[in-house]
Chains A and B, each alone.
Chain A
Amino acid sequence: MRKEKFLPYFMIIPTIIFMLIVHFFPMALGILSSFFKLNVMTIYNWVSAPFVGLTNYISVFTGEYFTNFISSFLYTTGFVLLAQIACYILGMGAALLVNEVNYPGRSIVRGIFLFPFILPIVVGITNWRYMFSFEGGMVNNLLLNIGIINEPIVWLVGSNAFFTILITFVWLSWPFWFIVLLASLQTIPKTYFEAASLDGATPLQKFRHIIVPLTSPVTKIIWLLTFMWYFREFNVPYVMMGLSPSKSANLLALHIYSEAFRLWNFSEGAVMAVIMSILLIGTLYLQQRVRKKEEDLLE
């Protein structure tokens, strides 16, 4: 009887050990690193690296470190919000197209929508890099041919780089929203739409009064999850532009990586990672608080 009582705990021990090794231990080391002087000379004997207290934090919060960190943070925040909005619009639009309209080849269309999701990420990003090339890139060729621009645009350097990585990222990410929103749409009883049609509701009214409220629990969860995921985005700017992109494309995760592993400022990189984690956790906490308040109000 006693054995049975403790059996579940024994069974999750391997998972706990795995989580400790893969998640908590590195996280703890990362936080600890932020209080020590870790650079190329001390990294090998890191256990005996000098303890510097809050010096690294002061360093990151002053001068160019701070300016660059804030710049990267603001661009990343803009990137995340715009990506979420664009993915929602595309995902919901595609989900409605597939769900509501019955036409031949619907399943083929669904498959095509999922294509960016199944393509290897680096392949997709590299293709977009070539498409955005100044000379010979498909994007410039298309815009020139249809007369939207008279001169090619430089997409990979300067402030345009922000939109380049945003477009690429949205293309890679929107199928996830499509799948989840489609699943959510399919749980709405058809009788609601029939009743609304009988009452003379327009498609926009149905969307506003049926689809949005009934998909909102799922939408909120996706917003929450994607906020965290997108804030940590590294692949797109790194593959497209390397370790030193223009400021507008220097997303926070890439900035931290570059600071730590290219300039060898491991401590400052750890500090920025800690700050980023605190900001993310804080944002999630606030979002949860708001959500709980809404639920309490509904009750």
Chain B
Amino acid sequence: MRKTTIILVLSIFILTFSINALAADEISFWTFGSETPELKSVMDQFRQEFKEETGITVDWRMIGWGDYHSNNLMVISSHEGPDVTQIGTTTVAQQAYAGVFDNVTTLFNELGGEEVFFDALLTTTTPDGMEGRYAIPWFADPRALIYRKDLLEKHGMGIPETWEELVEVSKTLQEEENMKYPASLPGQELAHTIYQTVEQAGGSITTYEDDKFKSNLTSPKVKSAVKFITDHVTEYEIAAPASAEYDKATLRAKLANGELAFMYDSPQIYQYLEQNAPDLVDKIAVGPAPAGPAGKHSVFCGGSQLAIYNFTDKREEAVQWIKYLLRPENVALWAKAYGNVPGLISATKMQGFDEKPLADFIAVARDHGIHPPSNPGGTLAKVEDLINNQLLGSYLEGNYKEAMIDKTLKEGQNMHQKVIDQFEF
């Protein structure tokens, strides 16, 4: 009886570990986003084809963006995770500096090198101060200016070219079209707006001085960018005071309802409008954000890349999987299902990416695409929420003062610098 008990316990023990361990011909792959039926269908197709070609099974997980940072942190702190991962362009640097990404220069070159990829995505494949490539561009998520061309044309106006023109055009729409707040700010998701407005002002959120990366949030150019953002609400009144509460989903709904003339969004806006306001699809156009004092337009080019974790023991299989995913037809299919733009130039000739309106989007992103610095300060961490809560939030309470911008940026800079200082070189 005792012997039987011991054998039973041991068997359960061994079985548990067997179930948890992947088979020798299996790799794990993480992606981030919402698992729509379309995306699942495409990925299931990829996995099936890949298995038929190579015999390798891909264990795939789709994780919500809400858990993105915590999952990345979990991998950094435990060195346990998938073999291959999708990684946002703004976080490649941090993961590479934390020492968890493989150097994939050889793979990058085998895939065609710089010429075959979207230019704006290339900077983030090599973090500042590091040699080689640590991620492979997969798809781009450009945030261009989406505007109601029908309303602008009605009043003899074109796409606003400068900050001043944006304000002027918005005011005209307020008077002539009775549009209360034609411009928009996604207060709950302000990071990308900050990145590209800083670029328009000719600034940068970080600098490199004395062999160290430094937060640059209190610089005059960054301040002018943040001031222009808050002035949408506080000074010019072209964006709603409740912008502090808005996210992208809210703004899309407002655009579909005809309440907005301007918003920044990715090609996913077309999918959204086709489902919710099909009559608006032909009334919108895409362009770069208006130029700021530095005379620069911008289209924030985020996106996702593919990386291999260096603690994997399935490196060969991981490389094969990435090569499979980076076949132009596969890049195009995934980008189409995801609602973004292929990171591979040749894939932009497939799946309707060479037709309007997606072709216009790609052209704008290619001409004006920007990306924040590829260093530990490349993400703003919680600074964007600080700006939203303290500036836009205080306006809601009637106690906003322009002097608060300096105080908020100083606090934000300290927070930002603490994150940067964690990374050693």
Chain A residues in contact with chain B, CB under 8 A? Answer: 39-41, 43-44, 63-64, 133-135, 152, 154, 156-159, 242-247, 258, 261-265
CB of B193, distance to nearest CB on chain A (Å)? 16
Which residues of the partner chain B approach A246 to less than 8 Å between Cβ atoms? 389, 393
Q: Is the pair B418, A134 in contact by a Cβ cutoff of 8 Å?
A: no
Known: A158-B389, A258-B382. 4 other contacts (CB 8 A): A152-B242, A154-B396, A157-B389, A158-B397
Tell me if B389 and A245 are in contact (CB < 8 A). yes
Is A41 within 8 A of B98, CB to CB? yes
The count of residues in chain B whose C-beta lies closer than 8 Å to any C-beta of chain A is 37
Tell me which residues across on chain B come within 8 A of A158, comparing CB atoms. 244, 389, 393-394, 396-397
Q: List 21 A-B contacts (CB under 8 A).
A: A39-B422, A40-B76, A40-B423, A44-B77, A44-B78, A64-B414, A154-B242, A157-B245, A157-B389, A157-B396, A158-B389, A242-B188, A242-B385, A244-B385, A246-B389, A246-B393, A247-B389, A258-B382, A263-B381, A263-B419, A264-B419
Q: Report the 8 A-B pairs with minimum CB-CB distance, sorted nearest first.
A: A244-B385, A39-B422, A157-B244, A43-B77, A158-B393, A134-B242, A246-B389, A157-B393
Is A264 in contact with B245, judged by CB distance below 8 angstroms?
no
State the CA gap A106–B79 with chains docked (Å). Answer: 57
A134 contacts B98, C-beta separation under 8 Å: no
Residues in B95-132 with C-beta less than 8 Å from chain A: 97-99
B386: chain A residues at CB < 8 Å are: 244
Q: Is the CB of B382 within 8 A of A244?
A: yes
B382 to A262, Cβ gap below 8 A? yes
Give B residues with C-beta under 8 Å from A. 69-70, 73, 76-79, 94, 97-99, 187-188, 241-242, 244-245, 250, 381-382, 385-386, 388-389, 392-394, 396-397, 411, 414-415, 418-419, 422-424
A-side binding surface: helix, strand, loop or mixed?
loop
Rounded to whole angstroms, the CA-CA distance of A156 and B245 in the bound complex is: 7
* Separation of A219 and B411 alpha carbons in the complex (Å): 43
Q: Describe B's contact surface by its main secondary structure.
A: helix
Name the CB-closest residue of A to B72: A40
| Chain B residues within 8 Å of A39, by CB | 422
Nearest A residue (CB) for B382: A244
Given contact pairs A40-B422, A158-B397, A264 touches B73 in the complex (Cβ within 8 A) = yes
- B382, A134: Cβ atoms under 8 Å? no
Residue of B nearest to A250 (CB): B389
Tell me the smallest distance from the CB of A49 to a CB of chain B, in Å. 12
When distances are taken between beta carbons in the complex, the residues of chain B under 8 Å from A244 are 382, 385-386, 389
Report which residue of A158, A244, A247, A262 has the largest number of chain B beta carbons within 10 angstroms of its beta carbon: A158
Across the interface, do A41 and B422 meet the contact criterion of CB distance under 8 Å?
A: yes
Chain A residue numbers with a CB within 8 Å of B415 are 64, 263
List the A side residues contacting B250 at CB < 8 Å.
135
B414–chain A nearest beta-carbon distance, Å: 6
Bound complex: CA of A258 vs CA of B244, how far in Å?
20
Question: A152 — which chain B residues lie within 8 A by C-beta?
Answer: 242
The answer to whether B382 touches A243 (Cβ under 8 A) is: yes
Q: Which residue of A lies closest to B246 (CB)?
A: A134
User: A41-B422, A64-B411 given as contacts; is B397 within 8 A of A159 (CB)?
Assistant: yes
A262 to chain B, nearest CB (A): 6
Cα(A261)–Cα(B78), bound, Å: 14
Q: Is the CB of A44 within 8 A of B414?
A: no
CA distance A41 to B424 in the complex (A): 8
Question: What's the Cα separation between A262 and B69 when bound, in Å?
Answer: 7
Residues in B neighbouring A43, C-beta threshold 8 A: 76-77
Q: Shortest beta-carbon distance, A80 to chain B, in Å?
A: 22
Alpha-carbon distance between A134 and B241 when the two chains are bound, in angstroms: 11
Interchain CA distance A154-B79 in the complex, whole Å: 43
| Residues on B with beta carbons closer than 8 Å to the beta carbon of A64 | 411, 414-415
A173 CB to closest chain B CB, in angstroms?
A: 25
Q: Nearest A residue to B73 by beta-carbon distance?
A: A261
Closest to B421 in A: A39
Contact across chains for A263 and B98 when beta carbons are under 8 A apart? no
B77 surroundings in chain A (CB, below 8 A):
40, 43-44
Q: How far is the CA of A245 from the CA of B381 in the complex (A)?
A: 14
Distance between Cα atoms of A156 and B244 in the complex (Å)? 9
Instruction: Tell me the complex Cα distance, A152–B241, Å.
Output: 11
* Contact among A40, A157, A262 for B392, CB-based, below 8 A: A157
B378 to A: closest C-beta gap in Å: 14
State the Cβ distance, B422 to closest chain A Cβ, in Å: 4
Please tell me if the beta carbons of B245 and A133 are within 8 angstroms of each other in the complex.
yes
Docked-complex contact B422 and A264, CB < 8 angstroms:
yes
C-alpha spacing A63/B413, complex, angstroms? 13
A152, chain B: closest CB distance, angstroms: 8
Complex-state Cα separation, A246 to B388, whole angstroms: 9
The smallest beta-carbon distance between A257 and chain B, in angstroms, is 10
Q: A44-B79, A261-B70, A262-B69 are in contact. Are A154 and B244 (CB under 8 A)?
A: yes
* Residue among B70, B78, B382 with max Cβ neighbours from chain A (10 Å): B382
Residues in chain B near residue A135, CB distance under 8 A: 242, 250
Q: How far is the CB of A143 from chain B (nearest CB, A)?
A: 15
CA distance A243 to B381 in the complex (A): 11
| Nearest chain A CB to B148 CB, angstrom units | 20
For A156, the chain B residues whose CB sits under 8 A away are 245
Q: Which residues of A contact B245 (CB under 8 A)?
A: 133-134, 154, 156-157
Chain A residue at smallest Cβ distance from B419 = A263
Residue in contact with B76 in the complex, picked from A44, A154, A245, A247, CB distance below 8 Å: A44
Given A64-B411, A135-B242, A156-B245, the answer on whether A40 and B389 have CB atoms closer than 8 Å is no
What separation, in Å, do the CA atoms of A89 and B110 have in the docked complex? Answer: 70
User: Chain B's nearest CB lies how many Å from the CB of A296?
Assistant: 49
Collect the chain B residues with CB atoms within 8 Å of residue A154's CB: 241-242, 244-245, 396
Cα distance A283–B70 when bound, in Å? 33
Give the residues in chain B near A265, CB-CB below 8 Å: 418
For B382, what are the chain A residues with a Cβ–Cβ distance below 8 Å? 243-244, 258, 262-263
What chain A residues lie within 8 Å of B99 (beta carbons)? Answer: 41
Q: Please, how many angstroms separate the alpha-carbon atoms of A158 and B241 in the complex?
A: 12
Q: Among the interface residues B98, B388, B392, B424, which one has the most CB atoms of the partner chain A within 10 A?
A: B98
CB distance from A234 to the nearest CB of B (A): 14
Which residues from chain B contact A159 at a C-beta distance below 8 Å? 397
In the complex, what distance in Å separates the CA atom of A263 from the CA atom of B94? 12
**Chain B residues whose C-beta falls within 8 Å of the C-beta of A134 in the assembled complex:** 242, 245
Q: In the complex, how many angstroms separate the beta carbon of A263 from the nearest chain B beta carbon? A: 6
CB-based nearest B residue for A264 = B422
Residues of A within 8 Å of B244, CB to CB, are 154, 157-158
Collect the chain A residues with CB atoms within 8 Å of residue B381's CB: 262-263
